[in-house]
Structure formats: C-alpha cells, structure tokens
Structure 1
Amino acid sequence: MTYYRTEAALALSLLVLIAVSTAIGPTALMPWDSLSADPVRAMLARTILVDIRLPRTVLAVLAGASLGLSGAVLQGLMRNPLADPGVIGVSSMAALGSVLAFYFGLWSVAGGGIVGALCAALLLMILAGRAPGILTLMLAGVALSSLAVALTALALNLAPSPLAAYEIMVWLMGSVADRSWIHVETAAPFILVGWGLLFATGRGLAALALGEDVARSLGINLGRLRMMAIVGTAGCVGASVAVTGSIGFVGLVVPHLLRPLVGHDSRRLLPVSALGGAILLLAADCVIRLVAVGPELKLGVATALVGAPFFLALVLRLRGGP
C-alpha cells in the first residue's frame, strides 16, 4: 500500500508543480488571464502560456523523467549505487554532438546531440562486445566519456571567437529556458521510445538483483537486457541533453531518495524514479525563476549544487565514514 500512496503522492506533486510552472515568470500574467475580457491581455497571456511557459514545463518534465528513470535502470543493471547516465558516456557524447553541430554550423544543434547519443550506444556495443560484463561496460563508458570531454574541450579551445566559446559554455551548463515546441517535438519521439525500452527492463532487473545465475535460470537474456538499457538510455537521455544541455546528478540522486519508500524491486522503482526525476527538475526550474534577481541561474548548475553534496555524503556512507 505504501508504494501506491507514494506513487499517487508523486503524481499529485507533479501536477501541482506543472500548474505552478505555468503561472510563474518575469511577467505577472497568469494562465487564467487568457480568459480575460480584455482581448489584448488575453492574447498576450495565451502567447506567454502556450509559446513560452508550456514548452519549458513539458521539456523539464520529459528531461527529468528521463534522467531519473535511466539512473534507476543503470544502478540496477550495474548493481552500483553510484551509476548514472554519465557512467556509460551517453550524456557526454550527446553534448559533444550538439557542440560539434553548433561549432560547424550544421542543421540542428538538437539533431547533433541525438546523433551523438546514438553513436555512443553503437560504440558501446562495439567496444563492450556481444555479451558485455558489467566491468567491461563501465570501462567502455568511461573511455567514451573521457573522449567526448576531451573533444568538447578541443572545440572550445579552437572556437573561432570568444563569443562562440562563451555560447558553447553557456549551452553546456544546461537549461530549459528559451525553448520552444520545436525542441519538444525534436526530442519527444526519441524520449518516448527510450522510456519504452527502459520500462521493459523492469522484470529483468528485478531478477538480476538476485544474481546473474539466478537471472539466467529465470530465463533472462542478460545480453539483451544490457543492450535495451544502453539503447533506451541513449534515446531518452541523449535526446534530453540534445535540447537542454548537460544536467547532472538527477539520475544519481532520485533513485536513492525513493528506494527507501518503495523498496528495491525495479518494477516499482522505475515508475516512481521517472516521476521523481520530473519533480526534481521542474521544482529546480521553478525555484530558479522565483529567486532570479539578475541573470537566471542555469539549471545544470542548480542541480550540481544540490547533487554534489548528496554524492559526497553517499560516498562517505558507502565507505563507512562519518
């Protein structure tokens, strides 16, 4: 019963946050002002709601859910509490793809990020082999991530002007501000396909928690399970990073916060992690908008400020420190 109450509470909290997100911004207009008797005020309110606040809200929900869900899947797959989407290099490769698209003036920065994420999935499959072990998969991910970070730094170093380097750095900080329905439409198909693959791993991850031998005896194809997790993460996280920039720590923090409430069964943890990720990212975005007194704080910076102390506390707890 606790699980269903937790899930209902999270869903209700997300709905409340969505309503709050559509009501806050630099202008004092509220959603109900779109029904105003003043036609000018009503038109302005509808424009702000539909073209500015709603895309931002939807993108924060999609990206947050993707990060929370993929973090729970990867922690279950690798049986490592410190695993998150960055472990397999998908986030870094997606960021690299977007940076290269921006640097060379290609058709779409978001499209470049999605291509980078899909390349990460393909390279992981090649590097890790047909039946990758957990250690092999993690080492391949670290190698990809290191390569992507190095190439991103090279692009910044060779930027033709300080302004271009600055724009790249600002984008890498992560944000859902100034996004439109075009960004949502670009990312949503890949995100939804990725969600489908990740949710389908629930039963396999629950069996894997009992050990690889037990999972095999229950009919789980471990190679297929790992590939589904990789491709699903590449799809949803890669598409999210492609349109929002790099946003860290959500995939690491959310599963740890919710696991004590719903238990370790992945079939229960995955849905609430998706809800929790959406809540965390949307709440952070709402706080940023409410407290902004100058230039708006980047969302990736805000999540890092919250997530880094949590990460250090987790490391200390795992090693038996104070």
Structure 2
Amino acid sequence: MSGRRHPLLLPGLIALLLVAAIASVALGSVTIAPARILAVLAGGGDMVARAIVIDLRLPRMAIGLLVGAMLGLSGAALQGYLRNPLAEPAVLGVSNAAALGAVIALYFGLSELHPMALPLLAIVTALAAIGALFLLAGPSESPLTLILAGIAVATLAGAGISLALNLSPNPFAAMEIMSWLMGSLENRSIDHLLLALPCIAVGAALLLYDGRALDALTLGEDGARALGVDLSRARLRLMAGVAIGVGGAVAVTGSIGFVGLIVPHLVRPLTDRSPSALLLPSMLGGAVLLTLADIGVRIIPTSSELKLGVLTAILGVPVFLIHLMRERRLW
C-alpha cells in the first residue's frame, strides 16, 4: 500500500489500543486493581479475580478489539471501492443478512439446541447475501449498481427480521430477538472468540490485499484497468472479505452500527486521503472505538447494562455529521 500517513498516526493508535485493552480488563461494574490483574495473568490471584478476568473480561476485550477492527477496516475498504463516503457493510446488505441468520436461529429455537447455531447461521446468511448481490449486479463493475443491489438485499433481510418479530410466538422470543439486534459484548466467551477469529482474520487479509486496487480506482474504472487492475477479481476479494469478516463479527456481537462509517472519517485528515492509507488506521481505530464504547456501557450507571449498539449510535451520529460537514469539500 502506497498511501502516506502522519508519522504519529499509527503509533498513536497503537498506544490508544493498548490503553483501551488494559482499561477493558480493569474497569466495569467491579473495578479490579492492577496488582490483582497481574497476579491473575501470572497464574495466581484469588478465585474471584480469576473468574472475572479470565472467564469474562479477557474474552470480551478480545472480541471487542477484533469486531471493531473488522468493522472499521470494512468501512474504509467499501468507501474506497464504492467511492462513496457514506458506504459501510450495511450498504451492501451484509450486516442485515447476518442479523437475519441470527434471528432465524433465535426464532426457531436453534440457538437453544446448540450455542454455535446462531453464529454459524449468521455467517451463512452473510455469504448468501454476497451471492445474491453478485446475481443482482450481474457482470457490471459499476459502484452504483452494487449499491442499488445492496439496498435490495438489505431491504429483503430487514423485511425477514420484521416478519419474525411480527409472527413471534410469544413476547419473550420477540424481546430476545430485539435484545440481540441492539448489539452487545455481554456474556461472550472464549467459544465466541474462537468462532469469530478465523472469519475476521480471513476477511481482514482479503481487504488489506487490495490497497493498490483501491488507489487505482480513484482514477476511475478505465484508469484502474489501464494500470493493470483486474476489477472483477478485486471486487470478488472485497465482497468475500466483507461477507466473511463482517458475518463472523455480527454473528457474535449482534448488530453494531456506525463504526465502519465514522472511523475512516476520523482518521482521513491525518492521511493523504488515498484509500490504501486509510485501511490499517481504520482497522486500529475501529478496535479502539468499539472497545472504549464497551467500557462505557459497563460503567454508565443503569439498572441493566446499556446495549453497545445503542451507545455507538448515540455517539456516532453527531460525530459523523460534524466531520462530514467539515470535510465534504475535501473528499
């Protein structure tokens, strides 16, 4: 990737990432002193601290970092490919489709038969959405065609979710579905981490591979072809990366919006604004943003833990609008 960045951007994001990770383990409804955390990590410590740190907070912190990184990276990649500052995974229907798969698992009780049924169905429906996207878009390489096809896929998935809520056999099932749709890292375990990790690793690798192609697309499709970019293969890698990575992320956390939309706008002023320069900073920034938001939902005093998707929406909309107003002439 050839994009230029401010020399302190990546070191600063890495430092923030470490701070957020440490704070995620230490802070919560029960604050644990650093000495107790170090004792647990060294293999000792009291039973209460070990249960909180090892069983609850470490998996939650790791999942938050992974999911945030995937959402931030996918948002930057889609904004570069579609040349649209409003693009994010939801634009192509991937997030809605993954959510529909999870809703199907909840509605038919499959998640009670096996805990991995919900994540697996979310990944399968995300991949199915990408397949449907290719069929609707046909051989066209036009970003507008992909956006319109994505809107159709997202609308269909949203209709399926609404139908499940409307026909829910009892109010408790509807409440469970709504709770999952709001997104959360609460009660996530090492099993969820192990399921999400390979999906996010594969998805991130596919998206990071195409930095040069995204830069070439800033010259237009004809210019990119003149530079030797195979747009068909680049599109295939991009769509597969988004489907696999975001599908695995949404599968274990539920629907969390605005991360992929906001983070690229926050880091763009510190780069030369080329798509390749945004990929890695957006990945790190997404991990930081989601982890800090998750700390927020744990320490905000409420009768029950605030849903992570709700907080990202509350924080995300005004931040995004402010940066959009500042940078609309610079895109």
Q: Identify the TM-score tier after normalising by the shorter chain.
A: over 0.9
TM-superposed deviation, 1:312? 4.1
Q: Deviations over 1:279-304 (max 9, x none)?
A: 11011111221223321111100011
TM-superposed deviation, 1:133? 1.4
What is the RMSD computed on CA atoms of the aligned residues? 2.0
Matched, 1:309 2:318: yes
Q: Tell whether the 8 Å contact from 1:31 to 1:49 is kept in structure 2 after alignment.
A: no
For residue 292 of structure 1, give the secondary structure of its aligned residue in structure 2: coil
For residue 46 of structure 2, give the secondary structure of its aligned residue in structure 1: helix
Alignment equivalent of 1:6, drawn from 3, 6, 9? 9
Q: Could you tell me which amino acid in structure 1 is paired with residue 167 of structure 2?
A: L
Q: Deviations over 1:240-292 (max 9, x none)?
A: 11110000011110001101101212222100000000011011111221223
Matched, 1:281 2:284: no
Alignment equivalent of 1:256, drawn from 253, 260, 265? 265
TM-score by length of 1: 0.94
Distance 2:289 2:186 in 1: 16
Alignment equivalent of 2:211, drawn from 193, 202, 206? 202
Alignment of structure 1 residues 62-81 onto 2, 5 Å: 62-81=66-85
Matched, 1:159 2:155: no
Alignment of structure 1 residues 116-265 onto 2, 5 Å: 116-265=125-274
Name the counterpart of 1:25. Answer: 28
- Structure 2 segments unaligned to the other structure (5+ residues): none
Residue-pair matches, total? 318
Q: Tell whether the 8 Å contact from 2:266 to 2:323 is kept in structure 1 after alignment.
A: no
**How has the CA–CA distance of structure 1 residues 234 and 31 changed in structure 2, closer, same or farther, with 3 Å as cutoff?**
farther
TM-superposed deviation, 1:143? 0.2
Distance 2:322 2:20 in 1: 28
Q: Tell whether the 8 Å contact from 1:288 to 1:297 is kept in structure 2 after alignment.
A: yes
Calculate percent identity across the aligned residue pairs.
50
Moved more, 26-35 or 258-267: 26-35
Distance 1:15 1:314 in 2: 26
TM-score by length of 2: 0.91
Q: Tell whether the 8 Å contact from 1:248 to 1:303 is kept in structure 2 after alignment.
A: yes
TM-superposed deviation, 1:165? 0.1
Matched, 1:52 2:61: no
Moved more, 281-290 or 189-198: 281-290
Name the counterpart of 1:97. Answer: 101
Q: Tell whether the 8 Å contact from 1:258 to 1:269 is kept in structure 2 after alignment.
A: yes
Q: Deviations over 1:161-180 (max 9, x none)?
A: 10000010011000111100
Distance 2:325 2:185 in 1: 32
For residue 4 of structure 1, give the secondary structure of its aligned residue in structure 2: coil
Q: Deviations over 1:71-121 (max 9, x none)?
A: 000000010111111100000000000000111122411111111111111
Moved more, 233-242 or 24-33: 24-33
Distance 1:165 1:307 in 2: 27
Q: Could you tell me which amino acid in structure 2 is paired with residue 10 of structure 1?
A: L
Distance 2:308 2:44 in 1: 32
Q: Tell whether the 8 Å contact from 1:31 to 1:46 is kept in structure 2 after alignment.
A: no
For residue 7 of structure 2, give the secondary structure of its aligned residue in structure 1: helix
Q: Could you tell me which amino acid in structure 2 is paired with residue 197 of structure 1?
A: L
Moved more, 263-272 or 73-82: 263-272
Distance 2:257 2:152 in 1: 18
Distance 2:46 2:192 in 1: 25
- Structure 1 segments unaligned to the other structure (5+ residues): none
